[in-house]
Structure 1
Amino acid sequence: MATTAGEATGGAHQQRAQRRDRRRALVPLLLAMLLSQLDNMIVGTAMPTVAGDLGGVRHLTWVVTAYTLATAAVTPLWGKLGDLHGRKGAFLGATAVFLAGSALCGLAQDMGQLIAFRALQGIGAGGLMAGAVAIVGELVPPREQGRYQGLLAATMGAAMTGGPLVGGTVTDHLGWRWAFYLNLPVGALALALTSALRLPRRRSPARIDYPSAVLLMAGITAVVLLTTRAGAPHTGNPSALVAPAAGGALCLAAFAVRQRRTAAPIVPPHIFRSRNYALMSVIAFLTGFVLFGAVLFLPLYQQAVQGASATGSGLLLLPMLVAMTAVGAFAGRVVTGSGRYRILPVAGGALLLAGMVLLSQMDTTTSRPQSALCMMVLGAGLGCLVQIVTLIAQNSVDSKDIGAASATVALFRMLGSSVGVALMGALFNSRVLDVMAERAPGRPALDHARLDAASLSALPAPVREAYRHATAAGTHAAFLAAAVAGAAVLVAGLLIKETALSRTVSLSGGPTPAAAPPDGG
């Protein structure tokens, strides 16, 4: 009896020690994720000052596009590198590349250099997000991941909330270059703490299939370019979209064929045989569609219709972001406590649908408290989904594929955001220009559908009032498209097959107890 009691006490001490080690390991992962998420939000605020200092305002959008392209293109490669050669080395490499890109961005002397260095920074950022979630999947049993994934969701929410404020403050008081230099001390701390982590070592004889990597990067680049051009206020000649569409389709088709023939596929085709994993890829795409569309078009509505300033419109997003963070943390505890997760994607889809339908009903008479309540509903839905998708995806594959699986889900989310911004942007632009033609006949046509605060204040009062109604109509159309995406999430959630979450971590590279056999039916 005494021996049994001693063993129980020793087991309890061991569990507490393991949890303490996991919390320590989480610190550098959270720092790195904060860097990758915060950077774009900070830099976006600094862009007007950058344009004034470096010139090249016509190429300004490429400062963001280069980063997005590079991040999307290399994310699956970082995931596969971690699977083959160890997650710690891949994560350290990604952090180092990101920091090198940040330092060079701060030193850039013209817009061309800045765009090139932003691409380098994006290459590193692709490994930060994929590496963080993969390391959590390797260190933490699936049953307990909910608590930790909730912290990752909170980090994402904090970055989206604080990014514009930090960016504005840093740019005003220290200069735009410090928007990049700010990454260096935080990244150096993340590097030091990650170096001290003890992670399972991997060494696979397999090698990255570089022809597949080239096809994947070319295909993703074409898709992101296509959606960026399609959603731009000045779309120009539609025939200009044919080349990236055709090129992207050919590259991705060739990539898919090659993945079935290579010994070490970058995106293993067999992971999609799991019904849950395939559904998580779909939900990740749709969640990115809704989230980034809302983050883009809600501030437009708040500035043009409700009269908020640019900074004020960022603060007015707080109800959505706070709800997303709080519900994400609560959802993580629910999963850890009960071991059940299917209810979360179902509830998330229902709340996404309800939130976007409510937001689509906003017009020129909607008050800020009313719009805040609508945003809270949307934020609650996103909180149910943002991190639980990764948990279910990791629980659906072998542990040797966690890196590739996590990175592929992240890629689907990024592609969803690009498609969402493009589709919602096209609907918004078309509706705004149509309503302006109806409400301000005989007036000179707007150059494009999205006006900043300075352009809006320069309009004559009747045109400004017409633009308020036009913006409300444009966001109505855009948010209805997002509501359709929310309905699709609900349907996908209902198709999920709940499997038990393991309480242990598999370090052998074989199937985790919860992931075998695959839930193909």
Structure 2
Amino acid sequence: MSAPVLDRADDSPMTHRQIMEALSGLLLVLFVAMASSTIVSTALPKIIGDLDGTQTQYTWVVTATLLTATASTPIWGKLADLYSKKILVQASIIIFILGSLIAGFTQNTEQLIAARAFQGLGMGGVQALVQVAIAAMIPPRERGRYNGYLGGVMALATVGGPLLGGLIVDTDALGWRWCFFIGAPFAVIALFVLQKTLHLPVLRRDNVKIDYLGASLIAAGVSVILIWVSFVDDAFTWLSWQTFAMVGSGLVLLALAVWVESRVAEPVVPLPIVRQRTTALAILGSLAVGMAMFGGSVFLGQYFQIGRGYSPTQAGLLMIPMMGGVLVSSTLAGRAITKSGKIKPYVVAGTILLVAGFAGLSFLDHDTSLWYIGVSMAVVGVGVGMSMQNLVLAVQNTVSLRDIGAASATIAFFRSLGGTIGVSVLGAVLARRVATSMTEQLTAMGVPASAASSSGSLNLSALPEAIQHVVRIAYGDATGHIFLISAGVAVIGVIAAVAMKPTQLRSTVDLTPPASDPSVAKVAVD
């Protein structure tokens, strides 16, 4: 490779001021992506109600975004190891903006699901690339305290998003479509901020190719299994030819993906990295944490609005304890990790708290005390703040800078995969239990059981008052069951965290100087 070897200030570490300037754009990007999602989460019951959608469609509006974000994350990560991280971040933002605008103009749930799937392509890029860019700037030992800023942005976006979404939905002059439109101007600002502040070297290697076949096989395999989860025990039984066909084909596609990944020169999910003990356990922990966190929390807004009858704004306010827990724990744990250089104790404690919080939420019904719910949500938030980002940090500490994109994206991939599976599985469980509960209650009232199916729409205002009461009780009582499942899944995260080998975080950005690798040239193009 004949390109000149140029770098930032003779490869000297970035100053705190330079890091904060670059972080300003990255954190703004992360805030826009997360806030756009959380705004929709609170407004979704209203959106699906207005579009006359069902519980299955409610789940798929969330799942579609997670699915495409999950499938695209490894590709974004691999591209980040080869090309300009800044350009890739900006490209992902543009895709996210377009997806948001398209979603705002949709006229039915099918169009909304498709738009959210497109939006997820950009979200996958933002989620993966922000982590990659930070890893390229800051040594793992110092990254702990900067993770506090990440936690703060996550908390602000997750608290402010539902509140803003509730206000938008409750304001007649705006309407729910502005939940999608409102993020666009902030995303445009983020593009300009990144252009001004983010300057990273690019590691380029000769004769490299992106493994699109492997990525496609992974996406196809996961999609088939998720589609099966959404329809099993409803459109067809567990033991049926449809089950064997869909599960069988999904597993075959995933097996082919592993075979392809083991043979290509540049796999999107590098198996040598995945086989490392720390990475493998962090993947298992991220899968469990993602499944429990995304799968459980996405239904809290629905519980407060449909199960308890609160407005979208009130539902957003009631979510504050969880986000407060994320903010406080991520900040304090990040500073403690930077000071000690040790990460395992905080990950173990975080996963244990996650189990405890979801176990507490498993006792929910339609009239549980709000104080009890708030305390349980706060415990969940503390667990998330101590575990989720630090599982990524544990992996980044074990790989060189040239593989930081693929490694970071691999963890993000499995966390998103866990979230996607969690939302699909728990959404399917919730739908089944709600349908069963409504049938039992309506039958007891002397109403024909067929009325339960006509009550499947989330547009409660179109239902008689007596039926509305039945629906609220059904949703309120069924939600606790899915949190019990979340607690059980989160136990896997505890086991993975305990099994992780204690390590000391390194104080350098890279394991070895890039100059020692003759296949790599560092070109400052950002």
Query: Is the TM-score greater than 0.5?
Result: yes
- Note the C-alpha offset of 1:108: 5.9
If asked which structure has higher relative contact order (CA below 8 Å, sep 6+), I would say 2
Which residue in the other structure is 2:185 paired with? Answer: 185
Tell me the TM-score normalised to structure 1 length: 0.84
- Note the C-alpha offset of 1:279: 1.0
- Note the C-alpha offset of 1:265: 0.9
Which residue in the other structure is 1:497 paired with? Answer: 501
What letter matches 1:85 in structure 2?
Answer: Y
Which residue in the other structure is 1:518 paired with? Answer: none
Q: Contact 2:42/2:316 (CA < 8 Å) preserved in 1?
A: no
- Note the C-alpha offset of 1:337: 1.2
Counterpart secondary structure, 1:203: strand
Is 1:23 matched up with 2:17?
no
What letter matches 2:406 in structure 1?
Answer: A
Q: Distance in 1 between matches of 2:488 and 2:203?
A: 43
Could you say if the C-alpha distance between residues 49 and 352 of structure 1 is closer, same or farther in structure 2, counting changes exceeding 3 Å? closer
Which residue in the other structure is 2:363 paired with? Answer: 361
- Note the C-alpha offset of 1:448: 8.1
- Note the C-alpha offset of 1:422: 3.2
Comparing 342-351 with 212-221, greater Cα deviation is found at 212-221
Structural mapping, 1:29-44, within 5 Å: 29-44=26-41
Q: Distance in 1 between matches of 2:251 and 2:94?
A: 33
RMSD of aligned alpha carbons: 3.3
- Note the C-alpha offset of 1:181: 3.5
Which residue in the other structure is 1:417 paired with? Answer: 419
Which residue in the other structure is 2:84 paired with? Answer: 86
Q: Contact 2:75/2:268 (CA < 8 Å) preserved in 1?
A: yes
Counterpart secondary structure, 1:502: coil
- Note the C-alpha offset of 1:459: 4.3
Could you say if the C-alpha distance between residues 300 and 46 of structure 1 is closer, same or farther in structure 2, counting changes exceeding 3 Å? closer
Q: Cα deviation per residue 1:407-449 (whole Å; 9 max; x = unaligned)?
A: 1211211221222233333444444455555555243332289
Among the aligned pairs, what percent are the same residue?
A: 36
Q: Contact 1:86/1:203 (CA < 8 Å) preserved in 2?
A: no
Q: Distance in 2 between matches of 1:277 and 1:44?
A: 31
Counterpart secondary structure, 1:498: coil
Which residue in the other structure is 1:377 paired with? Answer: 379
Q: Distance in 2 between matches of 1:301 and 1:175?
A: 21
- Note the C-alpha offset of 1:121: 2.5
Is 1:138 matched up with 2:136?
yes
Equivalent in 425, 446, 453 of residue 447 of structure 1: 453
Q: Distance in 2 between matches of 1:453 and 1:103?
A: 24
Q: Distance in 1 between matches of 2:222 and 2:143?
A: 30
Q: Contact 2:225/2:247 (CA < 8 Å) preserved in 1?
A: yes
Structural mapping, 1:170-209, within 5 Å: 170=168, 172=171, 173-196=173-196, 197-205=198-206, 206-209=208-211
Q: Distance in 2 between matches of 1:505 and 1:174?
A: 46
Which residue in the other structure is 2:236 paired with? Answer: 237
- Note the C-alpha offset of 1:136: 0.7
Which residue in the other structure is 1:77 paired with? Answer: 75
- Note the C-alpha offset of 1:115: 5.1
Which residue in the other structure is 1:272 paired with? Answer: 274
- Note the C-alpha offset of 1:501: 0.7
Equivalent in 98, 108, 127 of residue 96 of structure 2: 98
- Note the C-alpha offset of 1:368: 1.1
What letter matches 1:423 in structure 2?
Answer: V
Q: Cα deviation per residue 1:328-357 (whole Å; 9 max; x = unaligned)?
A: 111111111111111112111221222122
Structural mapping, 1:473-488, within 5 Å: 473-488=477-492
Aligned pair count reads: 492
Comparing 420-429 with 334-343, greater Cα deviation is found at 420-429
Which residue in the other structure is 1:460 paired with? Answer: 466
Gaps of 5+ in 2: 1-11, 518-526
Could you say if the C-alpha distance between residues 450 and 160 of structure 1 is closer, same or farther in structure 2, counting changes exceeding 3 Å? farther
- Note the C-alpha offset of 1:495: 0.6
Q: Distance in 2 between matches of 1:358 and 1:121?
A: 34
Q: Contact 1:103/1:181 (CA < 8 Å) preserved in 2?
A: yes
What letter matches 1:353 in structure 2?
Answer: V
Q: Contact 1:34/1:156 (CA < 8 Å) preserved in 2?
A: yes
Structural mapping, 1:248-259, within 5 Å: 248-259=250-261
Gaps of 5+ in 1: 1-13, 513-521
Q: Distance in 1 between matches of 2:174 and 2:471?
A: 39
Could you say if the C-alpha distance between residues 288 and 451 of structure 1 is closer, same or farther in structure 2, counting changes exceeding 3 Å? farther
Q: Distance in 2 between matches of 1:475 and 1:111?
A: 23
Which residue in the other structure is 1:326 paired with? Answer: 328
Could you say if the C-alpha distance between residues 82 and 52 of structure 1 is closer, same or farther in structure 2, counting changes exceeding 3 Å? same
Q: Cα deviation per residue 1:173-210 (whole Å; 9 max; x = unaligned)?
A: 34555433333322222222222322012222211123
- Note the C-alpha offset of 1:113: 6.2
Counterpart secondary structure, 1:423: helix
Counterpart secondary structure, 1:202: strand
Comparing 266-275 with 479-488, greater Cα deviation is found at 479-488
Q: Distance in 2 between matches of 1:24 and 1:223?
A: 43
- Note the C-alpha offset of 1:50: 6.5
Which residue in the other structure is 1:7 paired with? Answer: none
Comparing 31-40 with 321-330, greater Cα deviation is found at 31-40
Is 1:348 matched up with 2:347?
no
Could you say if the C-alpha distance between residues 500 and 252 of structure 1 is closer, same or farther in structure 2, counting changes exceeding 3 Å? same
Which residue in the other structure is 2:9 paired with? Answer: none
Counterpart secondary structure, 1:484: helix
Q: Distance in 1 between matches of 2:213 and 2:41?
A: 34
Could you say if the C-alpha distance between residues 148 and 28 of structure 1 is closer, same or farther in structure 2, counting changes exceeding 3 Å? same
Which residue in the other structure is 1:516 paired with? Answer: none
